[in-house]
Structure 1
Amino acid sequence: MPAARMWRAAASVVVALATGVLVASPASAQEQAQDKAQQPAPVGRYVAMGDSYTAGPLVPIQTGKPVGCLRSTNNYPALVAKGLAVTTAQDVSCSGATTANLAGPQRTGLGTNAAQLDALGPDVSLVTLGIGGNDIGFVSIVAECATRSPLKPTGAACRDHYTGTGSDELATRIDATAPRIAAALAAVTARAPQAHVLLVGYPALLPDTGDGCFPFVPFSAGDVDYLRGVEQKLNTMLADQAAAAGVDYVDTYTPSIGHDMCADHGVRWIEGLIPTSPAAPAHPNAAGMRGMADAVLGALAPSSNVA
């Protein structure tokens, strides 16, 4: 099978679900007291919104309706809810969601997800939102690069494809997504005026430095550098829009450095195009969801205004 077809096929690999048990040694009374002092304030009603990086496709155990949203009981919203004194938690995230699916329904292969904004109301005290990747075409970008890059492993075929007209098509897509993020945040704050709103960024998919790990991840060094820059531009745009809207931005990129899809099994938070842990290709595994949850909880802990 040609390399391009092999990697395109790899991008759609489905991994069987599995479960694991982690046994921790009991903490001392002093450690427990310190942990309690650092915990965020109690939360009344928490609503989680977003795309697959929120939902956690194929991370055990899949739950919720519609089934096609591929939500996990161990995605970061579930872990955040466990880490807080949440009265009610509602996860309306859905794999494949774009900003359009915040205000309108989203059809999946197995059911329709209602407009995510419909979950909000004046009684909501905490909202997390992770969105934007599908607006710039995340799935098509991965598929395109997985097809083109192996054909020129010492070049940058994917970068050349997106910049060959003299402008950067993906940078243009990010710029076009910015007003959609602004509108989404305005709608969230209007519908949940008492809520602490957090816009959650994307973790590092590729190494923060270096050439990548071709052929395990089938992107040439030149394309790794280009795609790394694309993700950083996307996260910068999200941070800028959060600041403009007066909401908090959660940086999940920095804590995930060294845990990208090129990291060793057991270290990586993001699975490669052929996952070795239960997760969708190029998506967070259970450890990645834990890392993202810790980033959200860390953003809440220092000076939480949630009540």
Structure 2
Amino acid sequence: MAKKSGGGGCLVLVLVVGLLAFGYYKWQHGSSSAPPEGVDTGGGSGRYVALGDSYTSSPRTGRQAGTPAGCDRSDDNYPHLVAAKLKPAQFADVSCSGATTANLTGSQKTGNGTNPPQLDAVTAETTLVTVGIGGNDVGFFSYASGCATTDQNASPCRDRLTAGGRDQLAERIDATAPKIGAVLDRIHEQAPKAKVVVVGYPTVLPEGAGCWPSLPFGAGDIEYFRGALGKLNKMLEDQADTHRAGYADTATPGKGHDVCSASDKRWVEGLLPASPAAPLHPNARGEQGMADAVLAVLKLP
């Protein structure tokens, strides 16, 4: 009986260790499981580094934060809101408008100063990294700038970008995937103690045909770009899942807060912003929504 009891104890120990390992694996692979123990950011400890593009830097929503001024980084963007909640010992927001994955490892020239490689801020002491990047690699905004039409049933961008049986946006999303994976691997190498959270893009376009002429894109282009944004977020989530990172879904809570929603509801402004923000970018309300999504992944209220 003593032997049997000892074997049972070993089995329990194996199960407990296995469950703990599974919980760690699930966190690192993008679920909302509790973060691994032994890594603390907040309450006056740890180092939080925020990497990203203009959806992270949040141009025009608040006061200028940090340098260079050309990064259009606001003091009420989601990294600042997350940091205010966590209260880490150190906080570095190095996000920059116009950034691509190349600007995480290489410097970025702006209209007013040069931003050093964003990954330079990620040190061995870093305990939390959020990264919101990829949209500029795909080129959404450069493509969208030529989509305005006087015919609400037209789809000039979809027709051009899918001509000849190719889907150029889908191809660019696929090409960006390994770049995101490489960035996440690099973060883990530089900051082996850090929790890493990939932050997705919020809902920009509504279901249905849109709100022409307030947003002067035809129904076909609205559908096309909405689908492409969904593919981009799915790619980001998949890369987080396979490269030991959490994923903050900002699109789901952002539904109903798109550019066509009421001005007091929307998270993302239209071509003519009604609240301080860059066109087709999150306003302060949207940045708060994104911060809430990150805090939810970190299991904080």
TM-score by length of 1: 0.82
- Check whether the contact 2:256–2:266 (CA below 8 A) recurs between aligned residues: yes
Is residue 2:216 matched to residue 1:214?
A: no
Post-superposition offset of 1:151: 4.3
2:110 to 103, 108, 111: 108
Q: Distance in 2 between matches of 1:224 and 1:290?
A: 25
1:125 partner letter: T
Q: Distance in 1 between matches of 2:164 and 2:104?
A: 33
Q: Distance in 1 between matches of 2:233 and 2:243?
A: 15
Post-superposition offset of 1:219: 1.1
Aligned equivalent of 1:282: 280
Query: In structure 2, the residue corresponding to 1:71 is in which secondary structure?
Result: coil
Post-superposition offset of 1:210: 1.4
Query: Aligned Cα RMSD in Å?
Result: 1.4
Is residue 2:93 matched to residue 1:91?
A: yes
Query: In structure 1, the residue corresponding to 2:138 is in which secondary structure?
Result: coil
Is residue 2:127 matched to residue 1:125?
A: yes
Aligned equivalent of 2:267: 269
Is residue 2:176 matched to residue 1:177?
A: yes
Considering only CA atoms, is the larger Rg found in Structure 1 or Structure 2?
A: 2
Aligned equivalent of 2:293: 295
1:182 partner letter: G
Residues 127-177 of structure 1 show CA distances to partners (whole Å, capped at 9, x for unaligned) of 00000000011221220223xxx1432122211010012110110000000
Give unmatched runs, 5+ long, in structure 1. Answer: 1-39
Q: Distance in 1 between matches of 2:144 and 2:85?
A: 33
Aligned equivalent of 1:236: 234
Q: Distance in 1 between matches of 2:245 and 2:51?
A: 15
Residues 229-248 of structure 1 show CA distances to partners (whole Å, capped at 9, x for unaligned) of 00000000000111010110
Residues 28-72 of structure 1 show CA distances to partners (whole Å, capped at 9, x for unaligned) of xxxxxxxxxxxx963511000000000001111122100000000
Q: Distance in 2 between matches of 1:158 and 1:151?
A: 13
Q: Distance in 2 between matches of 1:46 and 1:57?
A: 21
Highest relative contact order (Cα 8 Å, sep 6+), 1 or 2?
1
Q: Distance in 1 between matches of 2:41 and 2:96?
A: 27
Q: Distance in 1 between matches of 2:55 and 2:62?
A: 14
Q: Distance in 2 between matches of 1:41 and 1:197?
A: 12
Give unmatched runs, 5+ long, in structure 2. Answer: 1-39
1:162 partner letter: L
- Check whether the contact 1:56–1:75 (CA below 8 A) recurs between aligned residues: yes
Query: In structure 2, the residue corresponding to 1:198 is in which secondary structure?
Result: strand
TM-score by length of 2: 0.84
- Check whether the contact 1:59–1:286 (CA below 8 A) recurs between aligned residues: yes
